[in-house]
Chain A
Amino acid sequence: MTAYILKRLVDLGIVLLGMSLLVFMMIRLIPGDAVAIMLGANTEITDAGLHELRARLGLDQPILLQYWNWITNALRGDFGTSIWTGRPVATEITANLWPTLELTFLSVLVGGCLSIPLGCFMATRRGSLSEVLTRLVTITGLTIPSFWLGIVCLFLVAKYFPGVSLLGYVPFSENPIENLQKMILPVIALSLPMLANLSRLVRSAMLDALNQDYTRTAKAKGANQRRVTYKHALRNALIPFITSLGVSTGYLLGGSIVIEQVFAIPGLGRLVLGAIAERNYPLVQATILVLATGFVLVNFIVDLLYLAIDPRVREQ
C-alpha cells in the first residue's frame, strides 16, 4: 500500500512537471514576436521599449534557464508581475480564487447531494415509460449548453423578479445572504449536467443492488428491505460516484469560465480570459498552471480515496 501511494506520488510529480513545461511552452509557441504583439495595443512603440519588456520578462535568457527561473519562483509562490498593472501575479490570482472555489464547491455540493435522492427515486420508478423519460431528461440535462441556460435564466429572473440583485460577487464573510443569492443561478447552470450524470450513476447502482441475491435474501427474511437496499446500493455506487466527482471538478473549472462571464463573477475563469485578451502572458501562464494543478490534485485525492474504499485496489 505504501508502495502504491509512492508510485502515485511519483506519477503526480511527473504529471505536474510535464504540465508546467507545457504551460511554459505555450507563450513561446504563439506565432510572431509575442512581445511585439503584447505591446501592440500602444500605437507608438520603440525598439528600446521592446528590449526593455523582453528583459523584464526574462525572454533574453537561454530557454532552459527561463524555465528554471520561472518554475523555481512559482514554487515559492512568485509568478512574476502582471504586465499591465505591475502587481504581483500571485496577488491577482488569490484575489480571484475564492469566487471560483465557492462556485465549484457549491456546484459539487448541490449536484452531489441532490443526485442521491433523485437517483433513488428514479430507480424506484421502473417500467419502460419512466425509464425512457428518465433517460431523456437526464441526457437533456447533460447536453443543454450551460451558457445558454445561464442567459435564459438571467432574463427570466430579471423579468419576473425585477430588482433582485443577481450579478457579481460579494464575499461570504461580508454578506452571507447576498453571497448565496448571487450564487443561485450560476450554481443551477453549472450543477445541472453534473446532477444528471451522477443521478444516473446512483440509479443504476440502486437497480444493481435491488437485483442482488443478498437483497432478495434480506427481503425474504423480512429485514428492513429499504435499509439493506440503500446500504448496498450506495456502497456500490460509491466508486463510480467519486470518480465522476473528480472528473466533474475539471468540467466545473472549465464551465465556470463561461458561467463567470455570463454572471459577472470575478473568478479565475474570467481572469484567464481577460489575461488572454490583453495578452498578459505571465498572468495567463500562472492562472492556467494554478487551475490545472488544482484539477490534478483533486484527481490525486480521488485516487487515494479509492484506496480507502475499495480493498481490491489496495491489493493490486
Chain B
Amino acid sequence: MSSSERFSITSLISQPLLTFALLLVVVQVLLALFAPWLGFQDPFQQVMVQRMKAPNALNWLGTDHLGRDVMARIVYGYRTSLLTCGIAVLVALVVGGTLGMLSAFYKGWFDRIVMRIMDVFFAFPIMLLAIGVIAIIGPGIWGASLAIAIVYIPIFARLMRGSALVICESEYVLGARAIGARDTRILFTHILPNLMSVVLVQTSLLLSAAVLVEASLSFLGLGAQPPVPSLGLALAEGRNFLLLSPWPAIFSGFAILFLAFGFNLLGDAARDKMDPRLRENQT
C-alpha cells in the first residue's frame, strides 16, 4: 500500500458507499456527543400521564412505560453504547495491539507465551466469556465494557501480530535493523504507521460487533442497569409490553441496527478502499 492510497476528501467523494457510511456514523456520534445541547427532553424525566404513548408532536418517537421520551432515551442511549463500546475497543486495541506487535517484533519465547495466552481467551465463544467476566465483576455498563475489552484483546493481538509479521520481514524494517536503529524507533516509525489501515478497518468492524454484544448483554440483564438510558436495556424493557406499546422496542431495535450497521459498513467500505485486489472486483 502506497502513500497515495491514504484518505483524502476527493477519494471519499468518489466512494459513495464510504461517504454514506461515514455520514451515518458521524451523525450518530455527533448526536451522542452533543445530546445535552441539542434540545432533547430530559431522558430521566417521568411523566406518568404520558406513558406508553405512540409517536406524537410532543414525543416524536413516543414514550416508554414510565412516560419518558423515547427519542431522548435513544439519543442518550447512543452515548452509553458509544462510551462503553468505544472504551472497550480502545482498551482492547491498546493492550491487544501492543501485545501482538511486540510478539511479531521479538518473536521467540515472548511471542509463544503471549500468543498461547491469547489462544486460551480466544477459545471461548464471545458471549460466554463476556458472561463469565460479568459473573465476576457484576452487571452494569462498566462490567459490560470490561467484558467486551477482555473478549477483544486476543482478537486485536492476533490481527496485529499477523499484519506486523509481514511488515517485520519487509526490506526496510530488515534494513533499519541492520543499520542498528533502536527497537522503539523501528516500532513507531516503520511498523505502526503501516498498520494504521488495518487498525482502522478492524476497529470499525469490532465496534459494530461490540454494539451488538453490549445490547445482548443488556437484554440478558447483565449490561446497563436502570435508570441508565441504554439501547439494549430499552429493548429488553420494551419487549415486556410489546403488545401494549411496541414503540420503545421497535425504535431502540432500529437504533442498535443503525449504529452497528454504520460501523460495519464503514469498516467494510474502508477495507475495499485499502485493498486494491478487492477494489478491482467492483469495477
Contacts and interface: CB of A to CB of B under 8 A. Distances in A.
User: Are A and B in contact, CB atoms below 8 Å, in the complex?
Assistant: yes
Interface of A: 11, 14-16, 18-19, 22-23, 26, 29-31, 128, 131-132, 135-136, 139-140, 142-145, 147-148, 151-152, 155, 204, 207-208, 211, 250-251, 253-255, 257-258, 261, 272-273, 276, 284, 288, 291-292, 295-296
For chain B, which range describes its interface: under 10, 10 to 19, 20 to 34, or 35 or more residues? 35 or more
B248 to A, nearest CB: 12
Interface of B: 16-17, 116-117, 119-121, 123-128, 131-132, 135-138, 208, 212, 215-216, 219-220, 235, 239, 242-243, 249, 253, 256-257, 260-261, 264-265, 268, 278, 280-282
B12 to A, nearest CB: 16
Closest 6 A/B residue pairs (Cβ):
A254-B127, A18-B120, A143-B260, A254-B125, A250-B125, A148-B253
Contacts, number: 120
Given A18-B120, A296-B123, 15 more contacts: A11-B119, A18-B119, A18-B123, A22-B121, A30-B136, A31-B138, A145-B260, A148-B256, A151-B249, A155-B243, A254-B125, A254-B127, A257-B127, A288-B124, A292-B123
Contact of B128 (A132, A261, A291): A291
A145 B126 contact: no
B131 A211 contact: no
B19 to A, nearest CB: 12
Contact of A145 (B121, B212, B243): B212
Contact of B125 (A16, A128, A204, A291): A291
Given A135-B17, A204-B281, A31 B136 contact: yes
Given A147-B216, A151-B239, A26 B136 contact: yes
Given A11-B116, A31-B136, A131-B282, A295 B212 contact: no
Contact of A272 (B131, B137, B280): B131
A276 B130 CA distance: 13
B267 to A, nearest CB: 10
Contacts of A144: 257
26 contacts: A15-B123, A23-B132, A31-B137, A135-B265, A139-B264, A142-B264, A143-B208, A145-B216, A145-B256, A145-B260, A152-B253, A155-B242, A204-B278, A208-B281, A251-B126, A254-B125, A257-B131, A257-B220, A258-B216, A258-B219, A272-B128, A273-B131, A288-B128, A288-B132, A291-B128, A295-B124
Nearest to B219: A147
Contacts of B281: 204, 207-208, 211
Contacts of A276: 131, 135
Nearest to B119: A15
A139 to B, nearest CB: 5
Contacts of B212: 143, 145
A211 B257 CA distance: 35
A250 B128 CA distance: 9
